[in-house]
Amino acid sequence: MLHSSIVGGSSASRVINCPGSVALVQKMPPKPSSEFADRGTLLHDAISLILENKDTVDTVVGMVYEGQTLTEDLRDEKITPALQALDTIDPDKTMEYMVETRVGFGDLLPGVFGSADLLGRIDNRAIVLDWKFGDGVVVAAEENMQGMFYAAAAMRTLGCDWVFRGATEVEIIIVQPPSIKRWVTTLDRIKKFEQDLVRAVKASKFADAPIKTGSHCRWCSAKPICPQMTGEVDRAVKASLSEINAEQLSHYLTQADMLEGWITDLRKLAHDMLENDQKVPGFKLVAKRGTRQWSDEDMAVSALRKHIGEEDVYTKKLVSPAQAEKLLKKVKQELPVELVVSVSSGSTLAAESDPRPAVLNIGKQLTDALSKLN
């Protein structure tokens, strides 16, 4: 799916509310994809294939994208109800539509574009439909800026303008299986949105572009370096409990999700920088708490059988070192040290004063060394 680096459908609300975020986001390293994002892309590709080729839902089972496979369960949970929602929207099968279409603002906003999931027309109504396959955040259709972004861009895109030509109303539809959210608005409302977007994009080019926090910060990758966000944190930390009145407390509670998201993104950014050998003054990576594992399961079985019964050595799998230690204590035996190794599950961020040794990024250092030999 195509996205503009300036503003797209998913970031329209953020840019309109916080023009200064554009420059901040562009300073951040690109965010790697996730299994959830890859699964969403897979499902978008699958439903587009069905609608473009008039295929059945069974034809997409087995599709693969970035390691994600479209299983029969995903078909039944996501694709089938999404198509049933389309039957509800267009019961008479009269809608003309186009899917996965790049739309943009041309000379009005150069470099601003996005990919509309479905654009359609039924009678005098233009339809902008967005598939949402995630299970987390429920997305509303009313005043949905992503939908209005695609509508405004499509109206200015050659080959898509037929959807709006002669229309008297625009319907924004969010299909988030199994739910359907619908909002009918006017062409004037879409034009007003376009004016707000143009104003925000122009404002974003100035060094003093306004920065404002709010619900639009949730998915912003620049939270760790945002002056407003750091200000929110500073005020929350410095305020003593005795000085917080009920009104202040209420304000902080409404900011909780935003602050937690900022903290999570801040720690991840620092972790990523340290993993790539970029210094973060006062911090380092240390090994996470090690979990004991059998160094040799066959040797462990032989040793344990001498002291505890066969039925106690195995559960569904070999007992852990901690479980074995408890069993051996019952018969007044010690766990043989040579049977156990401690394996860390990864690295975690810690203060420089932490007594644990810093992690050596041996793999990264080896890769760098080998690249110099080529």
> How would DSSP label each residue in 163-206?
GTTT-SEEEEEEEETTEEEEEEE-HHHHHHHHHHHHHHHHHTTS
pLDDT higher than threshold 70 for residue 353: yes
The pLDDT value given to residue 364: 55
Domain tally, the chain: 3
Report the chain's mean pLDDT, rounded to a whole number: 86
Please tell me whether residues 222 and 89 are part of one structural domain.
no
Q: Is the peptide bond before 178 cis (omega within 30 degrees of 0)?
A: yes
Find how far residue 181's CA is from the centre of its chain. Answer: 22
Residues 6+ apart with CB under 8 A from 120: 90, 95, 96, 97, 98, 126, 127, 129, 163
Q: What is the mean pLDDT of residues 40-62?
A: 90
Please tell me whether residues 176 and 115 are part of one structural domain.
yes
Percent of the chain at pLDDT above 70? 89
Please tell me whether residues 183 and 324 are part of one structural domain.
no
Please tell me whether residues 151 and 64 are part of one structural domain.
yes
Q: Which ranges constitute the DSSP H helices of the chain?
A: 12-17, 21-27, 35-53, 72-74, 80-89, 145-155, 187-203, 227-238, 246-254, 256-275, 297-305, 310-313, 321-330, 362-373
Please tell me whether residues 231 and 154 are part of one structural domain.
no
Please tell me whether residues 355 and 224 are part of one structural domain.
no
Q: What range defines the domain where residue 339 resides?
A: 284-373
Which of the listed ranges 88-102, 230-244, 294-308, 337-351 does the model predict with the highest average pLDDT? 88-102
**How many angstroms separate the Cα of 91 from the Cα of each of 10, 82, 94?**
29, 14, 8
> Length of the chain in residues, anyone?
374
Q: What is the mean pLDDT of residues 127-151?
A: 93
Please tell me whether residues 88 and 46 are part of one structural domain.
yes
Of 99-108, 150-159, 360-369, the poorest mean pLDDT is in 360-369
Please tell me whether residues 81 and 133 are part of one structural domain.
yes
Sheet holding 96-104, edge to edge: 96-104, 113-122, 125-131, 169-176, 179-185
